[in-house]
Every structure is written in structure tokens, then in C-alpha cells.
């Protein structure tokens, strides 16, 4: 049981006894008011102090200075040799401060804040590029044995990131197909060009909507899961345990996730295309009186296979972005629970942003090549 710091005034009023633990935690309950002293000469008796740290020494100096402001003569006595060293050190440091000095928080200008933000973003970009380089190097080191371990670890990722995502991808794709056909159909109906809804929705779904929306869904679902898992491993020192055993974290954790998503995302896009076209067919039937057979016949005749290929070409890049961003944010987690949540949010935001940037790059590239 600790004895908090306390003060007792002697009966003659000439000695103020300081007792207990004069430490940062011990002085919390110490009264801020110095006992009323009528004598002109007072002695601070400190032999009863059990423990003393710099916070306690600073408190004693505050009491001494308060008494001196009341025109009292103050004598400090009773320190042990160790306590005297601490007290003298704090007193010396306080005397070195300028007169009337106060520690005030300095307000940073907007230019300073912008500079700090820019430096932080540059550092994050550098670390991310270094992480990508490490991932590529580990891919180059793969052999039959390590590749077998990677695929073994990736099977569970395929189940969680692929199979368990089928319902949400199907529902979202079906609704997107309905909305797309409805909006396009409203415009074409006014011009009597109902049948062109097949080409409009088909090309949009194959080239853009299904690959992009599926990647965004998986980014919000899987990239965050990767960041949270690796972040929790770092908080629990599991990554340190892997390093102690000589196991490369990138090979054991990152590569299975990258390989699993590169395989899974194209299959999910095919799944998304099927349900998006189903939604478009239903809306075309109900709104524009285009039968299911007529829709499918025109789709196969007018929508070329190249649109399907160009849509699928982008998906491995999207998968690589999702996996690497999620794993990178997980490795960047600090050793506290708050950081896990922050990195999880950052993984979703950055993955979605980079997916949109990559999709825009592919669109410009295909347009430039006339594809």
C-alpha cells in the first residue's frame, strides 16, 4: 500500500513535515493550498519522504516559492543524499529557464501543416514502393516447395475472399444491371431505339461496371480484412515470432493473399457479369418489351468478345492492388489497438482510390490504342 504525499505542521508552527511518496502518482491527492503559517521562519522537514522523483521535487520547490512570496524565511532540511541530488537537479534546471517563461503551444501555419502532410505522404509512397519491390522479389524466389506452401495458404483466402463474397457480388451486380438498363432505356425509348439498350448495357457491364464494382466490393471487404489481420498479428507480436523462427512474413502472409485474389477476382467478375446481364434483361423485358431470347441473340451478335477480354484484363491488376494495399497497411500498424482501426480504414480508402486510378489508366490506354 502506497503512502501518498502529505504535509503536517508542527505545534509550534515552525516546521512543516513532508512525508510519504513525493512522486508523480503520490502527489495527485496533495492539497494545492499550503497550510496557513503565522511564523516568519519555517523549516521544510523532508526526512519523512519515502520516495522522491522530479515531479515531487518540483512540487516542493513550488511550496518553497509560495512561502517565500509570503515573506517567510524558508529552510529545507532532512534530505537523504539521493533525494538531495534530485532536488538540486530540478532547482538548477528551473533556474536556467528565462524569467516569466511559459510553455505555450505553438500554432503551426497552414504552410507548415501542408509541408508535414506532404512529407508524410512522400514517406508513405516510398515505403509502399519498397514493399512492392519486396513482394516482387519474393515472387522471383518462388520454387516448387515454396509455391506449394503459398497455394496451400491461399486456399482459405479463396474461400473467404471468393466463395463467401458470391452473395453480395451477385446482389449488387443484379441491382446495377437493373439500374443501368432502366436509365439507358428511358433515354432510348424517347427516340424509338429500344433495341440498342442491349449494346449499351452489355458493353458498359463487360468493360467497366462489372470489373470496377466487383473490385470495389472486394476492396472494401477483403483489403480491410487483410489489414486488420496483419495489424492484429503485429500487436500480438506474432510477426516478431515469425521473424525469430526465420520465416519471411512476405512469403508466408502476403504471397498467398496476392495469388488467391489474382485467381479469385476474375472469377467473381464473371459471376458479376452474369447477374448484371440478368438484371438488364429483366428490366429490358418489363420496360422496353424486349424478350429474353431477343436480348440474348442481339447480345451475342452485337457485343464482341473483345469487350469481355478487355474487362477481364484489368482484374489481375485490381486484385494485386487490393492485396498489396491491405497487407501494406497491416504491416504499417503501430503496436496499439487504435492503429489497427486506422490502418483498416486507410486500406479500404487507398485500395478503392488506386483501383479507380488504374481503371482510368486502362480506359485511356485502350482509347489511345483504338481498342
The DSSP annotation for 313-357 comes to HHHHHHHHHHHHHHHHHHHT--SSHHHHHHHHHHHHHHHHHHHHH
Q: Which grid cell is 265?
A: 477476382
Is residue 102 over pLDDT 60?
A: no
Higher pLDDT, 151 or 260: 260
pLDDT at residue number 152: 77
pLDDT at residue number 32: 62
d(CA 188, CA 21): 84
Polymer length of the chain: 371
Q: Are 315 and 265 in contact (CB under 8 A)?
A: yes
Q: What's the Cα-to-Cα distance from 230 to each of 128, 147, 189, 254, 320, rounded to whole Å? A: 16, 21, 52, 10, 17
Q: Are 189 and 292 in contact (CB under 8 A)?
A: no
pLDDT class of 74 with cuts at 50, 70, 90: confident
Is residue 294 over pLDDT 60?
A: yes
d(CA 215, CA 318): 6
Percent of the chain exceeding pLDDT 90 equals 19
Higher pLDDT, 104 or 131: 131
d(CA 212, CA 361): 13
pLDDT per residue as tens digits for the range 124-171: 889 889 988 888 888 887 777 777 777 777 888 888 888 888 999 999
pLDDT at residue number 1: 46
Is residue 288 over pLDDT 50?
A: yes
Average pLDDT of the chain, as a whole number:
84
pLDDT at residue number 188: 82
pLDDT at residue number 334: 79
Identity of the highest mean pLDDT range in 33-42, 292-301, 317-326: 317-326
Candidates 268, 310, 267, 262; CA nearest to 135 is 262
To 5 degrees, how large is the angle CA 223–CA 228–CA 232? 150
Candidates 259, 234, 237; CA nearest to 149 is 259
Q: Which grid cell is 276?
A: 448484371
pLDDT class of 320 with cuts at 50, 70, 90: very high
pLDDT per residue as tens digits for the range 188-239: 877 777 788 888 888 889 888 899 999 999 998 899 998 888 888 888 878 8
pLDDT class of 103 with cuts at 50, 70, 90: low
For residue 113, the number of C-alpha atoms closer than 13 Å in the C-beta half-sphere is 5
Residue with cell 513532508: 18
pLDDT at residue number 27: 81
pLDDT per residue as tens digits for the range 13-61: 788 888 888 888 778 777 665 667 777 888 888 888 888 899 888 888 8
Amino acid at each position: 500500500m502506497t503512502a501518498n504525499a502529505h504535509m503536517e505542521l508542527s505545534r509550534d508552527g515552525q516546521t512543516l513535515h513532508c512525508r510519504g511518496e513525493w512522486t508523480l502518482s503520490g502527489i495527485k491527492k496533495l492539497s494545492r493550498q499550503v497550510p496557513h503559517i503565522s511564523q516568519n521562519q519555517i523549516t521544510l522537514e523532508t526526512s519523512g519522504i519515502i520516495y522522491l522523483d522530479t515531479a515531487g521535487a518540483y512540487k516542493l520547490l513550488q511550496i518553497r516559492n509560495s512561502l517565500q512570496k509570503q515573506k517567510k524565511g524558508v529552510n529545507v532540511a532532512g534530505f537523504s543524499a539521493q533525494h538531495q541530488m534530485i532536488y538540486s537537479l530540478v532547482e538548477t534546471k528551473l533556474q536556467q529557464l528565462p524569467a516569466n517563461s511559459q510553455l505555450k503551444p505553438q500554432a503551426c501555419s497552414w504552410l507548415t501543416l501542408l509541408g508535414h502532410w506532404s512529407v508524410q505522404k512522400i514517406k508513405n509512397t516510398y515505403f509502399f514502393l519498397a514493399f512492392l519491390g519486396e513482394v516482387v522479389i519474393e515472387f522471383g524466389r518462388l520454387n516448387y516447395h515454396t509455391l506449394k506452401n503459398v497455394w496451400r495458404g491461399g486456399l482459405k483466402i479463396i474461400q473467404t475472399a471468393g466463395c463467401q463474397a458470391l452473395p453480395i457480388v451477385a446482389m449488387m451486380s443484379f441491382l446495377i444491371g437493373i439500374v443501368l438498363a432502366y436509365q439507358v432505356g428511358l433515354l432510348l425509348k424517347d427516340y424509338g431505339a429500344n433495341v440498342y439498350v442491349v449494346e449499351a448495357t452489355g458493353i458498359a457491364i463487360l468493360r467497366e461496371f462489372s470489373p470496377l464494382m466487383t473490385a470495389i466490393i472486394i476492396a472494401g471487404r477483403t483489403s480491410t480484412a487483410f489489414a486488420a489481420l496483419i495489424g492484429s498479428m503485429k500487436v500480438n507480436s506474432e510477426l516478431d515470432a515469425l521473424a525469430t523462427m526465420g520465416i519471411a512474413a512476405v512469403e508466408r502472409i502476403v504471397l498467398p493473399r496476392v495469388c488467391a485474389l489474382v485467381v479469385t477476382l476474375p472469377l467473381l467478375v464473371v459471376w458479376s457479369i452474369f447477374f448484371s446481364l440478368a438484371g438488364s434483361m429483366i428490366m429490358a423485358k418489363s420496360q422496353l418489351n424486349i424478350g429474353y431470347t431477343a436480348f440474348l441473340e442481339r447480345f451475342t451478335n452485337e457485343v464482341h468478345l473483345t469487350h469481355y477480354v478487355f474487362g477481364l484484363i484489368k482484374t489481375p491488376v485490381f486484385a494485386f492492388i487490393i492485396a498489396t494495399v491491405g497487407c501494406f497497411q497491416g504491416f504499417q500498424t503501430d503496436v496499439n489497438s487504435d492503429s489497427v482501426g486506422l490502418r483498416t480504414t486507410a486500406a479500404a480508402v487507398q485500395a478503392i482510390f488506386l483501383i479507380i486510378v488504374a481503371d482510368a489508366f486502362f480506359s485511356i490506354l485502350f482509347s489511345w490504342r483504338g481498342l
